[in-house]
Amino acid sequence: MKQTIKLKQIRIDGGTQARAKIDENCVADYSERIGAKDGFPPAVVFHDGTDYWLADGFHRWHALNRLERKSAEFDVRKGTNRDAVLFAAGANGHHGLRRTHADKRKAVSLLLADSEWASKSDAWIALACCVGSDLVADCRKGSDIFKDIRTTRDGKTISTANRGRPTTKGEKQADDLEGQVADFSTGENPPETGVLQMEPAGPFAEVFSAKAEFAAIVQQLGKTLSAVDALRKTEAGTFLSEAWQRIEAAVKNAQQEVKFSAPDRVCPYCQGEKCKPKGGLKSPCRQTGWVSKGVKGPGK
């Protein structure tokens, strides 16, 4: 809900800043653009009934303050300071000033500082922060708080002390690429209110918990496509431009294939009993008891 609020009512001291630091050049640029009525989207705040916690738009807030604006329009959402923190962790993964590597590590550190979020899997945190799982693993090693706590896919909390492998140079380069270009096409953002739905317990709990990994792959494909798009617009990408349409179609097709191959629900045909194929035909669930998002139910 959009609402005009006095700047002095906005709380920016609640640990919701997910960037390593404020970029003064960006603030100056935003000040000019806001002054010129450039149509900036409103910053996002969470209201807990008493305070308005700034979750997304710190550079915009500082720009408004520099312009000595007394009030401004904000996107107000119902939620607590904690909801604002989780939203902030992934807010700049898709828009705004490109995140630096330090920004991404700061976002991950916000979640690792919370006992509940720190116990989540690397894939869960990566999806919430719009980063790669390898960066989360690297940050977890360097975190003094809950760094050895992990929740497995079957819901067990385990210690991961002295486990894992060093992040390779190639993985660090891939992580550095994330956030340097706008996300292209996934549209699958982390939850805004800080609640990620848990998959139902049962024989397929581990399978269904892999949804986050599928979503992360779709997201990474989108970012790769963005990187190719940025490169083709440079002089070095002259010949790459000739292949752009084929590359774009191939990557978007890959995104769809991965998205609709993700585990989705118990098989509606056999109710988890593992369909028996008849007449040489493939069973809808491939005799697993569950189906992907791309499998339609009976009568559909």
99-139 confidence digits (pLDDT tens): 888 999 999 999 999 988 998 888 888 888 888 888 899 89
Tokens of 119: 């116990």
Q: Is residue 288, in this structure, part of any structural domain at all?
A: yes
Domain boundary among 61, 91, 121: 91
- Report the alpha-carbon angle 51-74-85, nearest 5: 55
Distances (CA, A) of 214 to 67, 119, 255, 258: 44, 20, 10, 7
Tokens of 217: 């792959």
Better-scored residue on pLDDT, 13 or 283: 13
d(CA 218, CA 226): 13
Using DSSP, state whether 47 is helix, strand or coil. Answer: strand
Q: Is residue 65, in this structure, part of any structural domain at all?
A: yes
d(CA 219, CA 229): 15
pLDDT at 7 over 80: yes
List pLDDT tens digits, range 160-174. 444 444 444 433 443
Q: For residue 85, what are the domain limits?
A: 1-91
Domain boundary among 56, 91, 126: 91
Output the pLDDT for position 194. 36
Q: Are 177 and 223 in contact (CB under 8 A)?
A: yes
Q: Is residue 59, in this structure, part of any structural domain at all?
A: yes
Domain boundary among 52, 76, 91: 91
pLDDT at 157 over 70: no
Give the domain CATH number at 87.
3.90.1530.10
Model confidence, pTM:
0.52
Q: Is residue 35, in this structure, part of any structural domain at all?
A: yes
Count: domains in the chain: 2
Q: Is residue 243, in this structure, part of any structural domain at all?
A: no
Q: Is residue 291, in this structure, part of any structural domain at all?
A: yes
- Report the alpha-carbon angle 41-46-52, nearest 5: 100
pLDDT band at 19 (very low <50, low <70, confident <90, very high): very high
List pLDDT tens digits, range 20-75. 999 999 999 999 988 887 777 889 999 999 999 999 999 999 999 999 999 999 99
Q: Is residue 204, in this structure, part of any structural domain at all?
A: no
Helix ranges (H only) for 97-158 are 101-112, 115-118, 122-129, 133-142
Better-scored residue on pLDDT, 12 or 1: 12
Provide Rg for the chain, Cα atoms.
Answer: 22
Q: Are 55 and 78 in contact (CB under 8 A)?
A: no
